[in-house]
Structure 1
Amino acid sequence: MMQRIRNNKLSLIIAAVVLAFVVALVLLLQDSDKPQEALTEKLVEFNGSELEERQDGKLVWHLTAQKILVDPETGKTYFIKPKGTFVSDDTELTVTADQGIVDRKARTIEIKAPLEATTNKGDSLQTDGSVYYNMDTHGIKGGKVTIKRADTTELGADTFETNAALDKVNLTGHARVTKGEE
């Protein structure tokens, strides 16, 4: 047995290093943006609060939630049961989900999946991943998406970028546009 270990010493060392690397990688890739139990002690909590941004007196976006948790160290704001309204011209996109994060430093709003997103014009957006709103460009982007328009047109792709009206859409990877029957 000892002879076998000595003969395979290099293989065992390599396997141990690979295993340690995999464990470290898994720990690093865990979602660090979720307020975990140990972290909630340092978070400041608000119930039924809201945030919004206006430009030239016009609403750009508005975010409400059942509960808001603010991390004073990072400046990130965590939303429980958020409802976001994002405005583009005369169209409002309403997004609801279980969680969201506002990062004022990065100037982004992340609404985490599962989520529902619909416009006041009858269009909808479905995605398995989070959607990200850029506060500077007012653009929305995310991963795999299906956008259904009120006129029965359906768009889909691996990634997307759009405005809040869902009328200026950039599709990337396996993009498709189909027109349904009315």
Structure 2
Amino acid sequence: MLTFPAASVRMVVTLAVAVLGCQSRTAPTPSGAGLRIPDQEARDFTLTETSEGRKNWTLWASYAAMYNDRNLVDAQTVRIEFFDDKGKRYSTLTANQGLVDQRTNNLEARGNVRILTETGVSMETDSLRWLNRVQRIVSQAFVRVTRNRDVVTGYGFESSPNLDNFHIQREVRAEVREEVKDGDRSRP
């Protein structure tokens, strides 16, 4: 039978505790980014961006984690409403996740991203970014824009948040359909 002196056992246990205690405290995030444990967490989170007393956008999330050293808010199950210069809402964005850079108020939306305007235009993608300084939405991912019965798809999207004028850079496909008038069912 092997025996170890008590001092050796204590030294091994002390060393093991010291090594395990010095490991970095990280928590997995839904995005897989492996960010540090949040400085603050909130449920039913709301963040509003204003300019000269005018509301530009409001973000709601079921959960948000704030990382002070990165000036980052990682929000889950998000809805963002964009407002015009008269304070009227003109579009709503929904996504599984939203990342907010608190220095610039740039946003990144990920997972089942959808924008719906008050005029009924919709845009769907896996991810997009809101560039706050220039008030533009951009995405390099595949996008699908639907207006009435017309559908445009492609990659390299850029637009204002009202989706009135948008640009798609590559692999653009469009399906344009005439409106069906009452009683005229001969057209698709």
Using structure 2 for the length normalisation, give the TM-score. 0.70
1:168 to 165, 170, 173: 165
2-structure distance, mates of 1:144, 1:88: 27
**Amino acid of the structure 2 residue aligned with 1:72:** N
Deviation at 1:178, TM superposition (A): 3.2
Larger Rg: 2
Deviation at 1:93, TM superposition (A): 1.7
Q: Contact (CA 8 Å) 1:60, 1:87: kept in 2 or not?
A: yes
Which string of whole-angstrom CA distances, capped at 9 and with x for unpartnered residues, describes residues 43-79 of structure 1? 3101212111123433211101111110011110010
Match of 2:7 in 1: none
Deviation at 1:88, TM superposition (A): 4.2
Task: Determine if the alignment matches structure 1 residue 147 to structure 2 residue 145.
Answer: yes
1:61 to 57, 60, 63: 57
Say which structure is richer in strand. Answer: 2
Task: Determine if the alignment matches structure 1 residue 133 to structure 2 residue 130.
Answer: yes
2-structure distance, mates of 1:32, 1:105: 23
1:64–1:91 distance in 2 versus 1, CA, 3 Å: closer
2-structure distance, mates of 1:114, 1:43: 27
> Which runs of 5 or more structure 2 residues have no equivalent in the other structure?
1-28, 180-188
Deviation at 1:91, TM superposition (A): 5.5
Q: Contact (CA 8 Å) 1:66, 1:81: kept in 2 or not?
A: yes
**Amino acid of the structure 1 residue aligned with 2:66:** V
Match of 1:47 in 2: 43
Q: Contact (CA 8 Å) 2:81, 2:89: kept in 1 or not?
A: no
> Which runs of 5 or more structure 1 residues have no equivalent in the other structure?
1-30
Which string of whole-angstrom CA distances, capped at 9 and with x for unpartnered residues, describes residues 16-36 of structure 1? xxxxxxxxxxxxxxx996464
1-structure distance, mates of 2:32, 2:98: 9
**Amino acid of the structure 2 residue aligned with 1:97:** A
Task: Determine if the alignment matches structure 1 residue 85 to structure 2 residue 47.
Answer: no
Q: Contact (CA 8 Å) 1:86, 1:94: kept in 2 or not?
A: yes
Aligned-pair identity (%): 22
Deviation at 1:145, TM superposition (A): 0.7
Aligned length: 148
Task: Determine if the alignment matches structure 1 residue 100 to structure 2 residue 92.
Answer: no
Q: Contact (CA 8 Å) 1:160, 1:169: kept in 2 or not?
A: yes
2-structure distance, mates of 1:64, 1:125: 19
**Amino acid of the structure 2 residue aligned with 1:120:** E
2:68 to 65, 72, 76: 72
Q: Contact (CA 8 Å) 1:46, 1:69: kept in 2 or not?
A: yes
Say which structure is richer in helix. Answer: 1
2-structure distance, mates of 1:88, 1:169: 17
Which string of whole-angstrom CA distances, capped at 9 and with x for unpartnered residues, describes residues 67-121 of structure 1? 1110011110010111111234655221112211001235410111222221111
Q: Contact (CA 8 Å) 1:91, 1:165: kept in 2 or not?
A: no
2-structure distance, mates of 1:91, 1:157: 27
